[in-house]
């Protein structure tokens, strides 16, 4: 996820020998008062979000992603919805879902409990700090606070959500309703993910209607798939033009479901420009992950995205990342390979992914690039 980062020459005047305090997170830093972005968070000039370059121009209009109305899949407009979904997956790698069936109360409660977790004292949040990326519950900052040379303006709580019985006892016990609320939300998100997977696979000709049981066997692999929740907090930033909440990256799994508050922050790379996604209340932003690009043999591609911060408002997002079970191999679908479309990616699994990011980190789409055959 994180690009190679080295400090720009103009940041030397802010060198701070107390770098250990950054390990405590940007929320802790802000609670202790900062009027300038510390050098540890300042990106090289070429990677900052306001550089006047065609590929880094943030002064372009906001983008309204393709909107997929799931309710219309049940009506006479189904074919048009499928066509819109095909175009969204192929041309954007992102879309927004409305009429998704998840109750507004569930959405509001999830954002609310996420906010209250980050309002806990640092001593309470610190209980869940860990360098173990496989921990069932992990509080941290930046992307990899152990290895990042430049930190991003973000704290997170990552929760493994499957199987729930194995991980739930390790989740934070404060706020008192966090476990109950996130369990409810994770189940709803998983159900929505499975609905979306079936429909997207249908656009690829890999699933059919309910009578076509042979085609739908493929869905069985996804029902027991992995699910990881990342609850992100991006504090308001005194100098937002010097840093990012998240650097350019693609997501590793099949689909990512993003729930966010009403503060703008998500940007995607579209037609070689960074554009800001316009939030739609109570909707979900969904994007194609690296595993889906591999599985579709490149028909649908994961897309670089990043998070900008602002000087006036903090931002909360809840990201639900879905893929096959950890032990499963991800491989291009045999039904999407032929003489005209040869296999374009190596088989991969989570072990390969973890090994790669442990040694190289997540930079742009480098992991996916390492999986390409040509």
Q: Is the pTM of this model over 0.95?
A: no
Question: Using one digit for the tens of pLDDT, what is the confidence trace for 247-289?
Answer: 999 998 999 999 999 999 999 999 888 999 999 999 999 999 9
What is the strand order of the sheet 155-160 is part of? 67-69, 94-98, 284-288, 255-260, 315-322, 227-234, 155-160, 137-141
Query: Three-class SS string for the chain?
Result: CCCCCCCCHHHHHHCCCCHHHHHHCHHHHHHCCCCCCCHHHCCCHHHCCCCCCCCCCCCCCCECCCEEEHHHHHCCCHHHHHHHHHHHHHHCCEEEEECCCCCHHHHHHHHHHHHHHHCCCHHHHHCCECCCCCCCEEEEECCCCCCCCCCCCCEEEEEECCCHHHHHHHCCCCCCCHHHHHHHHHHHHHHHHHHHHHHHHHHCCCCCCCCCHHHHHHHHHHHCCCEEEEEEEECCCCCHHHCCCEEEECCCCCEEEEEECCCCCEEEEECCEEEEECCCCCCEEEEECHHHHHHCCCCCCCCCEEECCCCCCCEEEEEEEECCCCCCCECCCHHHCCCCCCCCECCECHHHHHHHHHHHCCCECHHHHHHECC
First-to-last CA distance in the chain? 22
Q: Compute the distance between CA of residue 157 and CA of residue 103 in angstroms, rounded to an integer.
A: 23
> What residue ranges of the chain have pLDDT lower than 70?
1-21, 51-61, 208-216, 356-364
Q: What is the pLDDT of residue 63?
A: 83
Q: pLDDT tens-digit profile of 24-58?
A: 889 999 988 888 999 999 999 999 997 444 344 44
Q: Which CATH superfamily is domain 29-325 in?
A: B-lactam Antibiotic, Isopenicillin N Synthase; Chain (2.60.120.330)
Give the domain ranges of the chain.
29-325
230 forms beta bridges with: 158, 319
Phi-psi region of 82 (alpha: psi -120 to 50; beta: other; left: phi over 0): alpha
The per-residue pLDDT for 50 is 74
CA gap 13, 357 in Å, rounded: 32
**Residue 274 CB partners (closer than 8 Å, separation 6+):** 49, 55, 56, 57, 58, 60, 267, 268, 306
């Amino acid at each position: 996820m994180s690009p190679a980062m080295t400090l720009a020459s103009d940041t030397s005047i802010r060198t701070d020998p107390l770098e250990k305090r950054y390990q405590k997170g940007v929320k802790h830093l802000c609670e202790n008062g900062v009027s300038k972005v510390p050098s540890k968070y300042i990106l090289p000039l070429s990677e900052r979000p306001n550089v006047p370059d065609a590929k880094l121009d943030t002064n372009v209009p906001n983008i309204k992603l393709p909107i997929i109305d799931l309710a219309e899949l049940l009506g006479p407009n189904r074919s048009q919805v499928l066509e819109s979904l095909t175009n969204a997956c192929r041309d954007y790698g992102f879309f927004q879902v409305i009429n998704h069936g998840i109750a507004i109360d569930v959405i509001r409660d999830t954002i609310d409990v996420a906010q209250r977790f980050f309002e806990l004292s640092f001593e309470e949040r610190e209980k869940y700090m860990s360098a173990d990326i496989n921990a069932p519950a992990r509080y941290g900052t930046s992307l990899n606070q152990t290895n990042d040379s430049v930190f991003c303006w973000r704290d997170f709580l990552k929760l493994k959500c499957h199987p729930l019985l194995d991980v739930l006892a390790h989740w934070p016990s404060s706020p008192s309703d966090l476990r109950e609320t996130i369990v409810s939300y994770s189940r709803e998100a998983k159900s929505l993910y499975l609905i979306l997977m079936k429909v997207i696979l249908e656009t690829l000709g890999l699933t059919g209607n309910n009578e076509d049981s042979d085609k739908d066997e493929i869905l069985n692999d996804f029902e027991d798939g992995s699910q990881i929740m990342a609850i992100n907090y991006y504090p308001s930033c005194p100098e937002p033009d010097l840093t990012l909440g998240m650097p350019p990256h693609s997501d590793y799994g099949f689909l990512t479901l993003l729930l966010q508050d009403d503060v703008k922050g998500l940007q995607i790379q579209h037609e070689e420009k960074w554009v800001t996604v316009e939030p739609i209340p109570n909707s979900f932003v969904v994007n194609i992950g690296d595993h889906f690009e591999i599985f579709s043999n490149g028909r649908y591609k994961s897309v670089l995205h990043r998070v900008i911060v602002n000087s006036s408002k903090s931002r909360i997002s809840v990201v639900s990342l879905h893929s096959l079970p950890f032990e499963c191999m991800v491989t291009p679908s045999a039904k999407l390979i032929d003489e005209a479309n040869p296999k374009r990616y190596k088989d991969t699994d989570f072990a390969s992914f973890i090994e790669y990011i442990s040694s190289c980190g997540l930079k742009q789409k480098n992991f996916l690039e390492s999986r390409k055959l040509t």
